[in-house]
Amino acid sequence: MVLSRLTEEHIRENPERQLKEFKRGKDFLVAIDTDGCITDNMNGKQMLIFHPQYMEFYGLWDIESYFREVAEYYNLFSVDRGCNRFVAVQLTLTALSQRADVKKVLEEKNIQFSDRKPLDDYLTYARENKLGLGNPSLERFLEKNPTNFGLYKLLGWSEAVNRTFPHISAKIPPFNNVRESLELMAQYADVIVVSKTPYKDLADYWEAQGIAQYVRLICGQEMGSKGHHIEMAKKAGGYRDDQVLMLGDGAGDLKAVKANNGLFYATPPGKEQEAWDEFPQAFQAFSKGKYAGEFEKKLLDEFNKSLLTTPSWEKTDYDHRSSYQGKQEIRRSLYQRFNPGGKLLIL
Protein backbone atom coordinates (compact mmCIF):
# COMPACT_ATOMS: atom_id res chain seq x y z
CA MET A 1 0.00 0.00 0.00
CA VAL A 2 1.18 3.53 -0.72
CA LEU A 3 -0.22 4.71 2.62
CA SER A 4 0.64 3.15 5.97
CA ARG A 5 -1.61 0.47 7.36
CA LEU A 6 -4.34 1.61 9.75
CA THR A 7 -4.11 0.41 13.34
CA GLU A 8 -7.10 -0.86 15.34
CA GLU A 9 -7.09 2.46 17.19
CA HIS A 10 -7.28 4.37 13.89
CA ILE A 11 -10.22 2.25 12.79
CA ARG A 12 -12.09 2.86 16.03
CA GLU A 13 -11.43 6.60 16.27
CA ASN A 14 -11.14 7.86 12.67
CA PRO A 15 -11.59 5.11 10.06
CA GLU A 16 -12.00 7.58 7.16
CA ARG A 17 -8.73 9.41 7.81
CA GLN A 18 -6.92 8.11 4.73
CA LEU A 19 -9.95 8.66 2.51
CA LYS A 20 -10.15 12.28 3.66
CA GLU A 21 -6.44 12.79 3.02
CA PHE A 22 -6.45 11.09 -0.40
CA LYS A 23 -4.54 12.91 -3.17
CA ARG A 24 -4.79 12.26 -6.89
CA GLY A 25 -1.70 10.72 -8.45
CA LYS A 26 -2.76 9.39 -11.86
CA ASP A 27 -5.20 10.17 -14.65
CA PHE A 28 -7.83 7.62 -13.62
CA LEU A 29 -9.50 6.14 -10.53
CA VAL A 30 -10.17 2.40 -10.38
CA ALA A 31 -12.11 0.93 -7.45
CA ILE A 32 -11.91 -2.83 -6.94
CA ASP A 33 -13.94 -5.20 -4.80
CA THR A 34 -12.10 -8.20 -3.31
CA ASP A 35 -14.29 -11.16 -2.34
CA GLY A 36 -15.61 -12.86 -5.47
CA CYS A 37 -13.79 -10.36 -7.67
CA ILE A 38 -10.06 -10.54 -6.91
CA THR A 39 -10.33 -13.97 -5.32
CA ASP A 40 -12.71 -16.90 -5.72
CA ASN A 41 -13.61 -17.04 -2.04
CA MET A 42 -17.27 -16.04 -1.96
CA ASN A 43 -18.63 -19.59 -1.81
CA GLY A 44 -16.03 -20.58 0.77
CA LYS A 45 -16.68 -17.59 3.03
CA GLN A 46 -20.40 -18.15 3.12
CA MET A 47 -20.68 -21.94 3.09
CA LEU A 48 -17.74 -22.64 5.40
CA ILE A 49 -17.80 -19.64 7.75
CA PHE A 50 -20.80 -17.30 7.80
CA HIS A 51 -23.59 -19.84 7.66
CA PRO A 52 -22.28 -22.59 9.96
CA GLN A 53 -21.17 -20.01 12.52
CA TYR A 54 -24.64 -18.46 12.55
CA MET A 55 -26.36 -21.83 12.93
CA GLU A 56 -23.98 -22.66 15.76
CA PHE A 57 -24.59 -19.40 17.61
CA TYR A 58 -28.37 -19.48 17.21
CA GLY A 59 -29.03 -23.22 17.41
CA LEU A 60 -30.42 -23.59 13.91
CA TRP A 61 -28.70 -26.80 12.80
CA ASP A 62 -32.04 -28.61 12.71
CA ILE A 63 -33.12 -26.39 9.82
CA GLU A 64 -29.71 -26.45 8.12
CA SER A 65 -30.99 -27.21 4.64
CA TYR A 66 -33.48 -24.33 4.78
CA PHE A 67 -31.05 -21.88 6.32
CA ARG A 68 -28.27 -22.65 3.84
CA GLU A 69 -30.67 -22.53 0.89
CA VAL A 70 -31.94 -19.05 1.77
CA ALA A 71 -28.63 -17.62 2.99
CA GLU A 72 -26.83 -18.84 -0.13
CA TYR A 73 -29.44 -17.27 -2.38
CA TYR A 74 -29.00 -13.81 -0.87
CA ASN A 75 -25.24 -13.95 -0.35
CA LEU A 76 -24.13 -15.73 -3.50
CA PHE A 77 -26.62 -16.17 -6.32
CA SER A 78 -29.03 -13.23 -6.29
CA VAL A 79 -28.89 -9.52 -7.05
CA ASP A 80 -28.05 -9.07 -3.34
CA ARG A 81 -24.77 -10.97 -3.76
CA GLY A 82 -22.01 -9.26 -1.81
CA CYS A 83 -24.27 -7.27 0.51
CA ASN A 84 -23.12 -6.51 4.05
CA ARG A 85 -23.15 -9.48 6.45
CA PHE A 86 -25.74 -7.91 8.76
CA VAL A 87 -28.02 -6.97 5.88
CA ALA A 88 -27.70 -10.52 4.54
CA VAL A 89 -28.75 -11.96 7.89
CA GLN A 90 -31.76 -9.64 7.97
CA LEU A 91 -32.79 -10.74 4.47
CA THR A 92 -32.31 -14.41 5.36
CA LEU A 93 -34.25 -14.28 8.62
CA THR A 94 -37.06 -12.32 7.01
CA ALA A 95 -37.46 -14.86 4.21
CA LEU A 96 -37.27 -17.85 6.57
CA SER A 97 -39.87 -16.36 8.94
CA GLN A 98 -42.32 -15.95 6.06
CA ARG A 99 -42.11 -19.53 4.78
CA ALA A 100 -44.87 -21.92 5.81
CA ASP A 101 -42.67 -24.99 5.30
CA VAL A 102 -40.02 -23.58 7.62
CA LYS A 103 -42.58 -22.65 10.27
CA LYS A 104 -43.87 -26.22 10.18
CA VAL A 105 -40.41 -27.68 10.76
CA LEU A 106 -39.72 -25.21 13.57
CA GLU A 107 -42.95 -26.22 15.31
CA GLU A 108 -42.32 -29.95 14.82
CA LYS A 109 -38.82 -29.70 16.28
CA ASN A 110 -39.74 -27.13 18.91
CA ILE A 111 -37.05 -24.71 17.74
CA GLN A 112 -37.05 -21.11 18.93
CA PHE A 113 -36.33 -18.93 15.91
CA SER A 114 -33.79 -16.12 16.11
CA ASP A 115 -35.01 -12.81 17.56
CA ARG A 116 -34.48 -10.31 14.76
CA LYS A 117 -35.14 -7.16 16.79
CA PRO A 118 -31.56 -6.55 18.02
CA LEU A 119 -30.34 -6.78 14.43
CA ASP A 120 -33.11 -4.53 13.10
CA ASP A 121 -32.45 -1.95 15.81
CA TYR A 122 -28.72 -1.92 15.07
CA LEU A 123 -29.21 -1.49 11.32
CA THR A 124 -31.64 1.37 11.93
CA TYR A 125 -29.18 3.05 14.31
CA ALA A 126 -26.26 2.72 11.89
CA ARG A 127 -28.23 4.12 8.97
CA GLU A 128 -29.71 7.01 10.94
CA ASN A 129 -26.24 7.97 12.14
CA LYS A 130 -24.60 7.31 8.75
CA LEU A 131 -22.21 4.76 10.19
CA GLY A 132 -20.52 1.94 8.31
CA LEU A 133 -21.99 -1.48 9.07
CA GLY A 134 -19.43 -3.46 11.01
CA ASN A 135 -18.23 -4.46 14.45
CA PRO A 136 -17.07 -0.93 15.48
CA SER A 137 -20.51 0.61 14.93
CA LEU A 138 -22.18 -2.44 16.48
CA GLU A 139 -19.97 -2.01 19.55
CA ARG A 140 -20.92 1.67 19.70
CA PHE A 141 -24.60 0.74 19.61
CA LEU A 142 -23.99 -1.89 22.28
CA GLU A 143 -22.45 0.74 24.56
CA LYS A 144 -25.73 2.64 24.33
CA ASN A 145 -27.72 -0.55 25.03
CA PRO A 146 -25.53 -2.55 27.45
CA THR A 147 -28.36 -4.76 28.69
CA ASN A 148 -29.52 -5.83 25.24
CA PHE A 149 -28.11 -9.36 25.38
CA GLY A 150 -29.14 -10.07 21.80
CA LEU A 151 -26.55 -7.53 20.63
CA TYR A 152 -23.78 -9.39 22.47
CA LYS A 153 -24.72 -12.56 20.64
CA LEU A 154 -24.81 -10.79 17.28
CA LEU A 155 -21.39 -9.28 17.93
CA GLY A 156 -20.08 -12.67 19.07
CA TRP A 157 -21.16 -14.23 15.78
CA SER A 158 -19.53 -11.46 13.76
CA GLU A 159 -16.30 -11.72 15.74
CA ALA A 160 -16.26 -15.50 15.33
CA VAL A 161 -16.64 -15.05 11.58
CA ASN A 162 -13.65 -12.68 11.51
CA ARG A 163 -11.51 -15.05 13.56
CA THR A 164 -12.20 -17.90 11.17
CA PHE A 165 -11.19 -15.98 8.02
CA PRO A 166 -7.42 -16.58 8.27
CA HIS A 167 -7.94 -20.34 8.40
CA ILE A 168 -10.02 -20.53 5.23
CA SER A 169 -10.67 -17.45 3.14
CA ALA A 170 -7.15 -16.01 3.31
CA LYS A 171 -5.69 -19.19 1.80
CA ILE A 172 -7.55 -18.85 -1.50
CA PRO A 173 -5.29 -17.09 -4.05
CA PRO A 174 -6.32 -14.38 -6.52
CA PHE A 175 -7.58 -15.37 -9.96
CA ASN A 176 -5.00 -15.81 -12.69
CA ASN A 177 -4.07 -12.53 -14.41
CA VAL A 178 -5.07 -10.41 -11.39
CA ARG A 179 -1.48 -9.41 -10.60
CA GLU A 180 -0.74 -8.56 -14.23
CA SER A 181 -3.95 -6.51 -14.44
CA LEU A 182 -3.08 -4.62 -11.26
CA GLU A 183 0.36 -3.82 -12.66
CA LEU A 184 -1.29 -2.47 -15.79
CA MET A 185 -3.83 -0.38 -13.89
CA ALA A 186 -1.29 1.04 -11.45
CA GLN A 187 0.63 2.62 -14.35
CA TYR A 188 -2.28 4.84 -15.29
CA ALA A 189 -4.76 4.84 -12.40
CA ASP A 190 -5.05 5.41 -8.68
CA VAL A 191 -6.29 1.99 -7.57
CA ILE A 192 -8.37 1.68 -4.39
CA VAL A 193 -9.97 -1.34 -2.74
CA VAL A 194 -13.62 -0.82 -1.79
CA SER A 195 -15.35 -3.54 0.18
CA LYS A 196 -17.89 -4.49 2.83
CA THR A 197 -15.30 -6.76 4.42
CA PRO A 198 -13.56 -5.54 7.61
CA TYR A 199 -10.42 -3.49 6.95
CA LYS A 200 -8.07 -5.87 8.77
CA ASP A 201 -9.16 -8.88 6.72
CA LEU A 202 -8.72 -6.91 3.51
CA ALA A 203 -5.28 -5.57 4.43
CA ASP A 204 -4.14 -9.01 5.60
CA TYR A 205 -5.25 -10.61 2.36
CA TRP A 206 -3.77 -8.05 -0.03
CA GLU A 207 -0.49 -8.02 1.86
CA ALA A 208 -0.26 -11.83 2.18
CA GLN A 209 -0.86 -12.24 -1.56
CA GLY A 210 1.79 -9.63 -2.40
CA ILE A 211 -0.55 -7.31 -4.27
CA ALA A 212 -1.04 -4.46 -1.78
CA GLN A 213 1.79 -2.56 -3.46
CA TYR A 214 -0.49 -1.76 -6.41
CA VAL A 215 -3.21 0.06 -4.45
CA ARG A 216 -3.39 3.55 -2.98
CA LEU A 217 -6.10 2.85 -0.40
CA ILE A 218 -7.89 -0.07 1.22
CA CYS A 219 -11.40 0.83 2.33
CA GLY A 220 -13.34 -1.64 4.46
CA GLN A 221 -16.83 -1.71 5.95
CA GLU A 222 -15.76 0.61 8.78
CA MET A 223 -15.30 3.45 6.28
CA GLY A 224 -18.90 3.30 5.06
CA SER A 225 -20.44 1.93 1.89
CA LYS A 226 -18.64 1.25 -1.38
CA GLY A 227 -20.52 4.13 -2.92
CA HIS A 228 -19.24 6.39 -0.15
CA HIS A 229 -15.65 5.21 -0.71
CA ILE A 230 -15.87 6.03 -4.41
CA GLU A 231 -17.61 9.36 -3.78
CA MET A 232 -14.92 10.60 -1.41
CA ALA A 233 -12.00 9.47 -3.58
CA LYS A 234 -13.58 10.87 -6.74
CA LYS A 235 -14.21 14.28 -5.17
CA ALA A 236 -10.78 14.42 -3.56
CA GLY A 237 -9.07 13.62 -6.85
CA GLY A 238 -11.34 15.64 -9.11
CA TYR A 239 -11.81 12.80 -11.59
CA ARG A 240 -14.36 13.15 -14.38
CA ASP A 241 -17.17 10.61 -14.60
CA ASP A 242 -15.51 8.77 -17.50
CA GLN A 243 -12.26 8.55 -15.53
CA VAL A 244 -13.80 6.35 -12.82
CA LEU A 245 -14.09 2.57 -13.17
CA MET A 246 -15.33 -0.06 -10.68
CA LEU A 247 -14.51 -3.77 -10.85
CA GLY A 248 -16.93 -6.04 -9.00
CA ASP A 249 -19.07 -9.16 -8.98
CA GLY A 250 -22.32 -7.97 -7.42
CA ALA A 251 -25.24 -5.68 -8.15
CA GLY A 252 -24.17 -3.60 -5.14
CA ASP A 253 -20.87 -2.87 -6.88
CA LEU A 254 -22.69 -1.69 -9.99
CA LYS A 255 -25.01 0.47 -7.89
CA ALA A 256 -22.08 1.98 -5.97
CA VAL A 257 -20.25 3.22 -9.04
CA LYS A 258 -23.35 4.31 -10.95
CA ALA A 259 -24.39 6.42 -7.94
CA ASN A 260 -21.17 8.28 -8.71
CA ASN A 261 -21.71 8.31 -12.50
CA GLY A 262 -18.73 6.05 -13.09
CA LEU A 263 -18.22 2.99 -15.29
CA PHE A 264 -18.43 -0.69 -14.37
CA TYR A 265 -16.52 -3.83 -15.30
CA ALA A 266 -18.05 -7.06 -14.01
CA THR A 267 -16.45 -10.32 -12.93
CA PRO A 268 -19.72 -12.32 -13.13
CA PRO A 269 -20.24 -15.29 -10.78
CA GLY A 270 -18.94 -18.40 -12.53
CA LYS A 271 -17.15 -16.37 -15.22
CA GLU A 272 -14.60 -14.53 -13.08
CA GLN A 273 -11.52 -16.01 -14.74
CA GLU A 274 -12.84 -15.25 -18.20
CA ALA A 275 -13.40 -11.65 -17.10
CA TRP A 276 -9.83 -11.29 -15.84
CA ASP A 277 -8.43 -12.81 -19.02
CA GLU A 278 -10.31 -10.19 -21.05
CA PHE A 279 -9.67 -7.26 -18.72
CA PRO A 280 -6.58 -5.77 -20.47
CA GLN A 281 -8.67 -5.10 -23.59
CA ALA A 282 -11.40 -3.48 -21.50
CA PHE A 283 -8.91 -1.32 -19.61
CA GLN A 284 -7.38 -0.16 -22.87
CA ALA A 285 -10.83 0.96 -24.03
CA PHE A 286 -11.37 2.72 -20.68
CA SER A 287 -8.03 4.55 -20.78
CA LYS A 288 -8.69 5.73 -24.34
CA GLY A 289 -12.17 7.05 -23.51
CA LYS A 290 -13.95 4.36 -25.54
CA TYR A 291 -15.54 2.39 -22.70
CA ALA A 292 -18.80 4.29 -22.08
CA GLY A 293 -21.69 3.43 -24.36
CA GLU A 294 -21.96 0.23 -26.38
CA PHE A 295 -18.81 -1.37 -24.95
CA GLU A 296 -20.05 -1.13 -21.36
CA LYS A 297 -23.68 -1.87 -22.27
CA LYS A 298 -22.80 -5.25 -23.77
CA LEU A 299 -20.88 -6.25 -20.64
CA LEU A 300 -23.68 -5.05 -18.35
CA ASP A 301 -26.30 -7.04 -20.27
CA GLU A 302 -24.28 -10.22 -19.76
CA PHE A 303 -23.69 -9.42 -16.10
CA ASN A 304 -27.34 -8.76 -15.29
CA LYS A 305 -28.28 -12.18 -16.64
CA SER A 306 -25.93 -13.86 -14.15
CA LEU A 307 -27.76 -12.73 -10.98
CA LEU A 308 -31.11 -14.19 -9.87
CA THR A 309 -34.06 -11.97 -9.03
CA THR A 310 -36.54 -14.63 -7.87
CA PRO A 311 -35.73 -17.27 -5.22
CA SER A 312 -36.45 -20.91 -5.96
CA TRP A 313 -38.92 -21.23 -3.06
CA GLU A 314 -41.22 -18.67 -4.69
CA LYS A 315 -41.54 -20.65 -7.91
CA THR A 316 -44.51 -22.94 -8.63
CA ASP A 317 -42.36 -26.03 -9.33
CA TYR A 318 -40.29 -25.62 -6.13
CA ASP A 319 -39.05 -28.72 -4.34
CA HIS A 320 -36.89 -28.07 -1.29
CA ARG A 321 -34.82 -31.25 -1.49
CA SER A 322 -33.96 -30.65 -5.15
CA SER A 323 -33.19 -27.00 -4.47
CA TYR A 324 -30.76 -27.88 -1.67
CA GLN A 325 -29.13 -30.61 -3.70
CA GLY A 326 -28.55 -28.18 -6.55
CA LYS A 327 -25.62 -26.61 -4.65
CA GLN A 328 -24.64 -29.73 -2.73
CA GLU A 329 -21.53 -30.54 -4.75
CA ILE A 330 -20.17 -27.02 -4.23
CA ARG A 331 -20.58 -27.38 -0.47
CA ARG A 332 -19.16 -30.89 -0.41
CA SER A 333 -16.02 -29.98 -2.38
CA LEU A 334 -15.35 -26.94 -0.20
CA TYR A 335 -15.67 -28.96 2.98
CA GLN A 336 -13.44 -31.70 1.64
CA ARG A 337 -10.75 -29.15 0.81
CA PHE A 338 -10.88 -26.80 3.80
CA ASN A 339 -12.83 -28.46 6.62
CA PRO A 340 -13.13 -32.23 6.05
CA GLY A 341 -14.36 -32.79 9.62
CA GLY A 342 -16.90 -29.97 9.54
CA LYS A 343 -20.64 -30.34 10.00
CA LEU A 344 -22.54 -30.47 6.71
CA LEU A 345 -25.88 -31.96 5.77
CA ILE A 346 -25.84 -34.17 2.68
CA LEU A 347 -29.21 -35.10 1.18
For residues 44 and 164, is the Cβ–Cβ distance under 8 A? no
What pLDDT score was predicted for residue 309?
92
Please give the CATH topology (third level) of the domain spanning 8-40+176-292: Rossmann fold (3.40.50)
All structural domains of the chain with their residue ranges: 8-40+176-292, 42-169
Rama region for 287: left / alpha / beta (φ>0; ψ in -120 to 50; rest):
alpha
pLDDT < 50 positions in the chain: none
Q: Which tens digit of pLDDT belongs to each residue from 133-191?
A: 899 999 999 999 999 999 999 999 999 999 998 787 777 889 999 999 999 999 999 99
Q: How many helices, marked H, and strands, marked E, lie in the chain?
A: 18, 5
Closest residue by Cα to residue 35 from 274, 252, 245, 330: 252
What pLDDT score was predicted for residue 71?
98
**What is the distance between the alpha carbons of residues 325 and 135, in angstroms, rounded to a whole number?**
34
Residue 7 CB-density burial (10 A; 0-12 exposed, 13-18 middle, 19+ buried):
exposed
What pLDDT score was predicted for residue 346?
97
What pLDDT score was predicted for residue 1?
52
What pLDDT score was predicted for residue 3?
65
